[in-house]
Structure 1
């Protein structure tokens, strides 16, 4: 898609301020940047890993590389507010890079995979990922090494240790995470949440609260939350029970508690979300809760999750905002994360928008129809395209249906068939070391 032709017309004001040649110009795309307040036909120039200029028409002659994107949608690199990385050290963790390069997600907020005991190892491993991985520290020092139960031993929820961990890793930890359902807190009730809020108060950070099977109920825990704290799995059918979402949820929403979708393998029901939308409570963030049990369905990736929000009537600008600037704003992520403002990191996603009505499903088998599909074509992190990565093997403890196993086997065969034959034939080669002459 590269092109090095020079358009006619004078340079824009943004170009005049760009300061030298650009490394990359994404030209001719349909930009959708809710956080930056831009929508429509804009070119985006990149220099030294940051956005250098954004304007309807920028001179191609200024760029070392030009990518023509006519007919494509260009957004900021997506920000997924709820993910689980750190494979090999946790029950839930996956490697982000094999998903990121094909989904447009450049910022993966890890939602509590590590607590204080394991955070140094988490910090070391996540530093090697191609994507950005800000972290929420689990208030339980053991983190998510098992499927459930990290807060059943209250001594693991050590406030002083959690605060010390945040201070030992400045800039890496952007909030706290606590899972508040009967499987994780046992007989400790609201105490793990109280301790998470205490630690968050000491550090000036928000708390993300996982809701699920009571006790404690959502109505019991909401009074402990502060404006800016985050309820994840906000449209959980398990947490809502048979009565739908509790009226206290709307009061908390209006008081400044933030709602995150947190799809996951058990945290999202269409009927609950639709009731919240009808009550004027759209989620502030659209996240996947992508982990080893949701990666192969029902979540798959963030663009698929975004399509489910389109299926219940949210607009594309609303959904892109809730998957970019919205989550970045909730956590105070630095440097213009989630926008394409000049000076922000050059994290970008390029999609083909396929106007294909297709069926989507929640975690309980309820089905809806999305009006379009977002197909990622390119993902840039700091101005460089993320390279393709093969998927990681599925851990042996992850339950899969026979259909999922068969699909994984077909995919493995297809990849093998693609990679085993020689890349090109004899006519596609050149003599690299001539037999005769210089």
Structure 2
């Protein structure tokens, strides 16, 4: 790493890394130069002398900052919400799409909260004005699904709100069947925005929902064992897929089953986007983070390039995210993730305990947002209402002890210090 150079053309140069940028059409050994928070140039051998700071990332995988299409980051105000920053800095995720945590009633407060995060937080507006304040039930009172109010809110926050969200299962819609979905489609049509639909326990059945969706709308929890029911793969899903409905993984705490994903892959229906549905009940397992979810896709048989595409340019295109998010093309935001690639046999579990082994995993080493590394943040305490196993609680205690030991030991010994103020002023 070099010191500042007053005449430097670039602020930062990442050199020697193996770039994988499906959106930019680049793969292989490339350097990435950054100026004023944006990608300035990408090439195989950029001049080190032109950069104020040079970071050698040889032997590392460099990708665009990851885009997680389905998260819940309204921490402290909703049942599901978490603070993204303590996870972002060690996971490579620079864009966290909040998937309906807030409805029209609370969106101004959510927007203010999201503006304080170090990461980007575009949002999907819940068609229910009350949002996800509770575990379930936001659309059981149909008056909450106020189309006019949702449209007014989305137009007032154009650019921040990039789509709509509705949860369609019996726990959330009660006796109203597909009516909340009809209203969500009406609002999305009025604003020219996509719609994300959560699927789960019937009724309504997935086959009842799919005919209402438009090309470009998203089914999240697409590999849900709960939504699939006892018959597994739903033939109606193939028709929707072929018609242009996008499939999103949305792992979460109950939305991902290996066998359902494998059946979809065998049918030629890989997910368009891979997301975590990271929230207060999936953060400590079974989802953990996006690199772990990506490893599960590899374990199911997807290739690394396809998985990176589904966590960068795929979600960015699905939601029309502006400004080059999801790619490292020149002019794009310098949101960059640097990973060590570990090879081996890494056993992973889905939400039902089915296990598969991934041949590799990505371990984040640095996450840059607008060309600056995200700083370390300690994890937030676990809310009292979140169910944890004894093993999870024990792991959390061990982690806290390990962090305390690191921080209570002097950073360096006497040999690592220098005299900052000589006693005789020399």
Fold similarity call, TM over 0.5: yes
Aligned-residue offset at 1:86: 1.2
Q: Who is 2:84 aligned against?
A: 96
Work out the CA distance in 1 between the residues paired with 2:4 and 2:270: 44
Provide, for residues 207-244 of structure 1, a one-character-per-residue CA deviation record: whole Å limited to 9, x for no partner: 00000000000000101100000000000000000111
**Offset of 1:152 from its aligned partner?**
0.3
| 2:276 counterpart residue number | 288
CA distance in structure 1 between the aligned counterparts of 2:216 and 2:151, rounded to whole angstroms: 19
- List alignment gaps of at least 5 residues for structure 2: none
1:415 aligns with 2:398: no
Equivalenced residue count is 425
Match of residue 335, structure 2, among 347, 366, 391: 347
Aligned ranges 1:154-303 → 2 under 5 Å? 154-303=142-291
Per the alignment, residue 372 of structure 1 pairs with 360
Q: TM-score, normalised by structure 2?
A: 0.98
For each residue in 1:405-426, what CA deviation from the matched residue of structure 2 results, as whole angstroms up to 9, or x when unmatched?
A: 0000000000000001122233
For residues 150-197 of structure 1, the C-alpha deviation after alignment (integer angstroms, 9 at most, x for no partner) is 000000000010011111112100000000000000011111101100
Structure 1: state its 5+ residue gaps. Answer: 7-18
Contact 1:360 1:370 in 2 (8 A): yes
1:331 correspondence with 2:319 = yes
- In the other structure, the counterpart of 2:292 is 304
2: CA distance, partners of 1:150 / 1:5 = 54
8 Å contact from structure 1 (residues 4, 60) kept in 2: no
Counterpart of 2:229 in 1: which secondary structure? helix
2:33 pairs with 1:52: no
**d(CA) in 1 for partners of 2:303, 2:345:** 15
The CA deviation at 1:20 is 6.4
Structure 2 counterpart SS, 1:329: helix
Task: Spell out the pairing of 1:127-146 with structure 2 (5 A cutoff).
Answer: 127-146=115-134
Distance 1:167 1:266 in 2: 33
Distance 2:96 2:75 in 1: 14
Structure 1 stretch displaced more, 19-28 or 152-161: 19-28
Post-superposition Cα deviations, 1:288-324, rounded to whole Å, max 9, x if no partner, equal 0000000000000000000011011111000000000
The list of structure 1 runs, each at least 4 consecutive aligned residues, that deviate by more than 6 angstroms after superposition, is none
Pick from 320, 326, 329 the counterpart of residue 308 of structure 2. Answer: 320
For residues 131 and 300 of structure 2, the distance between their equivalents in structure 1, rounded to whole angstroms, comes to 34
TM-score of the pair, normalised by structure 1: 0.95
Instruction: Kindly state the Cα deviation for residue 42 of structure 1 after the two structures are TM-superposed.
Output: 0.3
What SS class does the counterpart of residue 287 from structure 1 fall into? coil
SS at match of 1:167: helix
Query: How big is the shift at 1:373?
Result: 1.1
**1:52-73 Cα distance to aligned partner (Å, 9 max, x none):** 0000000000000000011000
Pairwise CA distance, 1:434:
4.1
- CA displacement at 1:428 relative to structure 2: 2.6
Distance (whole Å) between structure 1 residues aligned to residue 346 and residue 240 of structure 2: 34
1:431 CA drift (Å): 3.6
Secondary structure (helix, strand or coil) at the match of 1:243 reads: coil
Contact kept, 8 Å, 1:4 with 1:61, in 2: the verdict is no
Three-state SS of the structure 2 residue aligned to 1:275 is: helix
CA distance in 1, matches of 2:60, 2:296: 21
SS at match of 2:255: coil
